[in-house]
Chains A and B, each alone.
Chain A
Amino acid sequence: MTVLDAANLSLRDLNQTLQAAAKTRSNEAFEILNPRGSHAVAVGLDGPVTVTIKGSTGYYCAGMNKEASVTVEGSAGPGTAENMMSGVVTIEGDASQYAGATGHGGLLNIKGNASSRCGISMKGIDIVVHGNIGHMSAFMAQKGNLVVLGDAGDALGDSLYEARLFVRGEVKSLGADCVEKEMRPEHLSLLEDLLARAGADASPAEFRRYGSARKLYNFNIDHAGEY
């Protein structure tokens, strides 16, 4: 375990150290002290490396992550794990808005709550939120799975494409073209796997599934009022 104290390192030096270690593919472990809400910590990691951040982070922590395992032992600012490609990013506390935005793959595991627009334009990432999520989450979500153990705010899944949404609690309202869908055995199986990967203590049977009604896929003037 290598310990890096962010109080004594520039952001460039910190990230360069992590990025270089990821490239060696040696799965080295790092602990980062005193992140103090810094932005763009542990971004662009491109290989197997384990990073534990001892405190809260600012914007875009673990942005564009590939293969690395990043854990924030605190809360995370906006855009955490944005455009993530693979690997695992865990937030022990809460996540601010746009968590997992445009993510292509991997698992974003948020142990607390996530703010608005969680999973916006997601393109294949799996996101598990143990608490609640804010409004406009999964807006224009294209692919992947969003699992919420708590409640969802307004306009869940607005203008959704093919992403799957699973919510255990209440949904304040659904967005345009987002509908509740039948939970079939394959969805229960998928959900069981996601919950297990996220270490979530919940039964798939407690969730409801939401997805796209696909009415807005091709423009129709009769649907103009939906927009």
Chain B
Amino acid sequence: MDKTPDTEPRQSWTFSRETNSEIRRAAESGIYDIRGGGAKRRVPHFDDLVFLGASISRYPLEGYREKCETAVTLGTRFAKKPIELKIPITIAGMSFGALSGQAKEALGRGATLAGTSTTTGDGGMTPEERGHSDKLVYQYLPSRYGMNPDDLRRADAIEIVVGQGAKPGGGGMLLGQKITERVAGMRDLPEGIDQRSACRHPDWTGPDDLEIKILELREITNWEKPIYVKIGGSRPYFDTALAIKSGADVIVLDGMQGGTAATQDVFIEHVGLPTLACIRPAVQALQDLNMHREVQLVVSGGIRNGADVAKALALGADAVAIGTAALVALGDNDPKWEEEYRKLGTTYGAYDDWHEGADPAGITTQDPVLAARMDPVEGGRRLRNYLNVLTLECQTLARACGKSHVHNLEPEDLCALTMEAAAMAQVPLAGTDWYPGKPGF
């Protein structure tokens, strides 16, 4: 009798090999997984949108001939000295401590060469960072590590961090391996301890308090500095409205693909909204309060190329911020370090144990030997190049839509390839004039 044919061994979708490996890891260690970066799961994103381009009813602009402006001014509402950027792409807040001094310097150099701003992070401002950043945004965080009024006045803008996309409602964790003597000194902490960053500000709660806090910061800085308020993608309509009510000049809105230096994987993957889902509610809040373009919106979380930039702007953002992509441009997760990634039990592209301080690329580390691999001049050049490419790509798409300024891009220029993206971006599903939730349907 013939043998019954075997079927291919079938893996469970629910209990995949990856899932099971995490169960085994948890059972072995007794502690949750901490990692860097943003959400790795597939979520509706800018890839699910396409531009319609020009047609008989819309005429395009000539590439390389007709101008397509990219300049953006942030902080026009109240600040005496708004920030003027040549491109609508900024560098997001990342701390010295999470990153090496060389990496921070490279970010400053690259941003300056490209005509944009960079941002400090938890842990304060270093002289190198200030020195190499023509425009530096100073983050004002719950921990207030390294916070002092001199640096506040030295900054070009102040960003009050309420939350970030990777972990709305979460604080920070910088493990002891990265708390070197210098990092510890800047943060007033003992060397080598696990440093916890608070999730709430120590001296204000709620929008009424925030309004007074912003008043205080303005009084201390002579009303010169634009005040940004950074929020994680959580309740973007209400958070944007409340930040405007509190007196913010700029809203920075970070979706769940935005990176963190170190947080529980369960937090990164299961809290917060995809960036795509955040933009339209935030813009709606700005429009409802008659503040669109008066209070600028900076969107971050998973911006990778000029198409992402253009799509964020078309949905109503004034600028975007990049973090993870900037680190990749500097050399993070580069295949040239594959042998060392393998020794760490990972592979290029997947390396996310940034908190352990063993980054072969010398970026997310405080180890002086590893950090020396990061050449800040070369890193700055690479970042400048990358920012230029993003800008050129964004201009290319804007011209194709007939726009003489990238800010003239609009939702009408877009359609969605999936129902989910159509619903989140509130642009029609391709080939239709409909999106889920459209009024009148």
* CB-based contact A98/B202 at 8 Å: yes
Residues of chain A with a CB closer than 8 A to B194's CB: 217-219
Contact B147 A83 (CB under 8 A): yes
Q: Are B212 and A39 in contact (CB under 8 A)?
A: yes
Contact call B149/A58, Cβ cutoff below 8 A: no
Most-contacted residue by chain A among B31, B149, B190, B213 (CB, 10 A)? B149
- Are A46 and B189 within 8 A (Cβ)? no
CA distance A98 to B203 in the complex (A): 6
A89 vs chain B, min Cβ distance (A): 14
The contact of A79 among B147, B176, B204, B223, by CB within 8 Å, is B204
Residues of B within 8 A of A44 (CB): 149, 219-221
What is the distance, in angstroms, from B36's C-beta to the closest C-beta of chain A? 16
Q: Contacts A40-B219, A43-B216, A221-B31 known; A79 to B203 CB distance under 8 Å?
A: yes
Residues of A within 8 A of B213 (CB): 59-60
Is A88 at the interface (CB under 8 A from chain B)?
no
A188 interface residue per 8 A CB criterion: no
B215/A102 in contact, CB under 8 A: no
A78 contacts the other chain (CB 8 A): yes
> In the complex, which residues of chain B have a beta carbon less than 8 angstroms from the beta carbon of A15?
219
> Contact between A12 and B144 (Cβ–Cβ < 8 Å)?
no
Given contact pairs A83-B144, A83-B147, A221-B31, A102 touches B202 in the complex (Cβ within 8 A): yes
CB of B198 within 8 A of CB of A140, answer yes
- Contact string, A97-131, partner B, CB cutoff 8 A, digits 1/0? 01001101000000000000100110110000000
The chain A residue sitting closest to B215, CB to CB, is A40
How far, in whole Å, are A15 and B223 apart by their CA atoms in the complex?
12
- Is residue A204 within 8 Å, beta carbon to beta carbon, of the partner chain? no
A142 within 8 A of B: yes
CB of A85 within 8 A of chain B? Answer: yes
Per-residue 0/1 for A66-109: is the Cβ within 8 Å of any B Cβ (1 yes, 0 no)? 10000000000011001101000000000000100110100000
Contact A11 B219 (CB under 8 A): yes
CB distance from A124 to the nearest CB of B (A): 6
Encoded as 1 (CB less than 8 Å from any B CB) or 0, chain A from 44 to 61 comes to 101000000000001110
Give the chain A neighbours of B149 by CB distance below 8 A: 44, 46, 64, 66, 83, 85
Residue B188 at the A interface, CB < 8 A? yes
Bin chain A's interface residue count: 35 or more
Interface residues of B in 157-214 (CB under 8 A from A): 173, 175-176, 187-190, 192-194, 196, 198, 202-204, 209, 212-213
Tell me if B198 and A12 are in contact (CB < 8 A): no
Whether A123 pairs with B188 at a CB distance below 8 angstroms is yes
**Of all chain B residues, which has the CB nearest A212?**
B190
Given A59-B216, A102-B147, check contact A64 B152 (CB 8 Å). Answer: yes
Residues facing B in A30-48 (CB within 8 A) are 39-40, 43-44, 46
A217 near B202 with CB under 8 A, answer no
B216: contacting residue among A63, A120, A221, CB under 8 A: A63
B219 and A218 within 8 A (CB): no
CA–CA, A217 to B189, complex, Å?
A: 10
Given that A102-B203, A124-B188, A217-B194 are known contacts, is A83 also in contact with B219, CB under 8 Å in the complex?
no
A164 interface residue per 8 A CB criterion: no
Complex Cα distance, B194 from A66, in Å, reads 30
Interface flags for B138-160 (1: CB within 8 Å of A; 0: not) read: 00000110011100100000000
A161 touches B216 (CB 8 A): no
> From residue A23, how far is it (CB to closest CB) to chain B in Å?
12
Q: How many angstroms from the CA of A15 to the CA of B221 in the assembled complex?
A: 11
Q: Mark B332-364, 1 if CB is under 8 A from A, else 0.
A: 000000000000000000000000000000000
Contact of A101 among B31, B190, B192, B202 (CB under 8 A): B202
Decide if A209 is an interface residue (CB 8 Å cutoff): no
Asked if A168 lies at the interface with its beta carbon under 8 angstroms from chain B, I say no
Known: A60-B213, A217-B193, A221-B31. A102 touches B152 (CB 8 A): no
Q: Verify if B19 is at the interface (C-beta below 8 Å from A).
A: no
CB contacts (< 8 Å) of A78 on chain B: these are 203-204, 209
Question: What residues on B are CB-neighbors of A12 within 8 Å?
Answer: 219, 223
Decide if B220 touches A64 in the complex (CB within 8 Å). Answer: yes
Cα separation A152 to B302 with both chains bound (whole Å) = 47
Question: Hey, what's the 0/1 contact readout for A137-158 against B, CB within 8 Å counting as 1?
Answer: 0011011000000000000000
A39-B216 CB under 8 A given contacts A16-B222, A46-B149 = yes
Complex contacts, A159 vs chain B, CB 8 Å: 196
Contact of B148 among A60, A85, A120, A219 (CB under 8 A): A85
Is A192's CB within 8 Å of the partner chain B?
Answer: no
**C-alpha gap A59/B210 in the complex (Å):** 11
Sample (27) of A-B pairs whose CB atoms are under 8 Å apart: A11-B215, A16-B222, A39-B216, A40-B212, A40-B216, A43-B219, A43-B220, A46-B149, A58-B212, A59-B212, A60-B203, A60-B212, A64-B149, A66-B149, A98-B202, A101-B203, A120-B202, A123-B144, A140-B198, A142-B189, A143-B188, A161-B190, A162-B190, A217-B193, A218-B193, A221-B29, A221-B30
Task: Please name 17 further chain A to chain B contacts, defined as beta carbons within 8 Å, in addition to the given A79-B203, A85-B148, A221-B30, sorted by A numbering.
Answer: A12-B223, A39-B212, A40-B216, A43-B216, A43-B220, A44-B219, A58-B212, A59-B209, A64-B149, A64-B152, A83-B148, A101-B202, A140-B196, A217-B194, A218-B176, A218-B193, A219-B194
Where the two chains meet, the residues of A that have a C-beta atom closer than 8 Å to any C-beta of B are 11-12, 15-16, 19, 39-40, 43-44, 46, 58-60, 63-64, 66, 78-79, 82-83, 85, 98, 101-102, 104, 117, 120-121, 123-124, 139-140, 142-143, 159, 161-162, 217-219, 221
The 10 closest A-B pairs by CB, nearest first: A44-B220, A79-B203, A217-B193, A123-B188, A64-B149, A102-B144, A98-B203, A40-B216, A101-B203, A120-B202
